[in-house]
Structure 1
Amino acid sequence: MRIPCPVRAAALVALPAALLISCSSVDGGEPSAGGGPTTAAADTRPSAGTQPPASPTEQPSPGPEKVRDAFAGLQATFNDGCTSEGNCAYFLGRVHDELERLDKAMKADPKGPGHFPEPIAWIAELRETVGTDRSYPNLKKHEKELVGTRDRINVWMQDHRDDYR
């Protein structure tokens, strides 16, 4: 039985969120303030540290994501595509988001952005081509560039296995 893509995506978010909630209290104390199930589901990345927020309303920001984790998200788009209009909108939006996520991770990597010159340049070129319009018609118009950039980065990363293992 083939599970619909939105169901698979929800499962991919729900499992890490459940693990995050169950692991949020390692020392046996209460989970951190402001970290209810909806907060955990929205952002399942681990926090950078345990320092308290600067003010009661300011939440600590997570540290930079690892390149391997961001690349895994990009690779997960290989099993999807534009099979229907609704799925195509989801797919293209996800490829765009995963490329942006990878760009941020590469720029924040301890090796420095100079370690990833080609992928960062390709994403910058794509960003210039697509612009700030994240609407489905605009992403559909640039589908070839989005998928091509994803594929080019995948090939580049295959030659740099130490960056995602």
Structure 2
Amino acid sequence: MLVRTTARDGIRRPTAARGLRATAVAMLAAAALASCTQDTPQDAAPAPASPSAAPADNADNADQAEQAEQAASEPTEEPALPAEPAPEAVRDAFATLQATLNDTCTPGAGDCAYFLGRVTQELTELDEAMRADPKGPGHFKQPLADMKTLFTKLGTDRSTPHLEKHFSAIVGTRDGINTWMQDHPDDYR
């Protein structure tokens, strides 16, 4: 009680005592915030105060608890959660598809595995980007319909012989989408 009385009388406490109290308040506030975020049973009763605690300790604890509640009720900034990676922008996906325009292969000659796999992958990524675009999939109605037709033909089989079997459909879809995009420069420039 002597410390509280001297503080009320205007006598300053030593700096170390103020530092200890500030540390204690900060630790209590952190503990209060941590306990608020932990899962606890709703019907759990609070622990009773120890009857052997000294009255001065109870008064200090009440002050600290009040300060901790006040600190906890102050708004704090929520840490920014990392955003999930967004699908590529249509412009970027189209650019990588365009990079395949001058490439080709000869089905059955053994040089189509990389080329057809790459074009199919680029079409898949463009499809995802168009569906996620803020303009909405309705804006990309024709290319999305063309890719859906192709993906239906291909199914889940991405083996080289299967892709070579659908060579004309894969290259035709790529070229058709290129033509459509050239008529819609706002989407790729």
Say whether the fold is shared (TM-score over 0.5): yes
The letter of the residue matching 1:140 is: E
- Cα distance in 1 for partners of 2:156, 2:106 equals 25
Q: What's 2:29 paired with?
A: none
Q: What's 2:86 paired with?
A: 63
Q: 2:182 aligns with which of 134, 140, 158?
A: 158
Q: After the TM superposition, which residues 69-80 of structure 1 pair with which residues of structure 2 at under 5 Å, given as runs? A: 69-80=92-103
- What is the CA distance between 1:79 and its match in structure 2? 2.4
- Cα distance in 1 for partners of 2:181, 2:159 equals 28
Q: What's 2:63 paired with?
A: none
Q: What's 1:105 paired with?
A: 129
What whole-Å deviation, never above 9, does each CA across 1:24-60 have from its counterpart, x for those lacking one?
Answer: xxxxxxxxxxxxxxxxxxxxxxxxxx9556xxxxxx6
The letter of the residue matching 1:116 is: F
- Cα distance in 2 for partners of 1:77, 1:100 equals 14
Question: What SS does the aligned partner of 2:134 have?
Answer: coil
- Cα distance in 2 for partners of 1:108, 1:64 equals 7
Which is greater in Rg?
2
- What is the CA distance between 1:87 and its match in structure 2? 3.3
- What is the CA distance between 1:77 and its match in structure 2? 0.6
The aligned length equals: 110
- TM-score, structure 2 as length reference: 0.55
- TM-score, structure 1 as length reference: 0.62
C-alpha RMSD over aligned residues: 1.9
- Cα distance in 2 for partners of 1:153, 1:51 equals 38
- What is the CA distance between 1:63 and its match in structure 2? 1.2
- Cα distance in 2 for partners of 1:88, 1:148 equals 15
Structure 2: segments with no counterpart, 5+ residues:
1-78
Do residues 123 (structure 1) and 151 (structure 2) align?
no
Do residues 142 (structure 1) and 166 (structure 2) align?
yes
- Cα distance in 2 for partners of 1:136, 1:69 equals 26
What whole-Å deviation, never above 9, does each CA across 1:93-119 have from its counterpart, x for those lacking one?
Answer: 001000000000000000000000000
Do residues 88 (structure 1) and 112 (structure 2) align?
yes
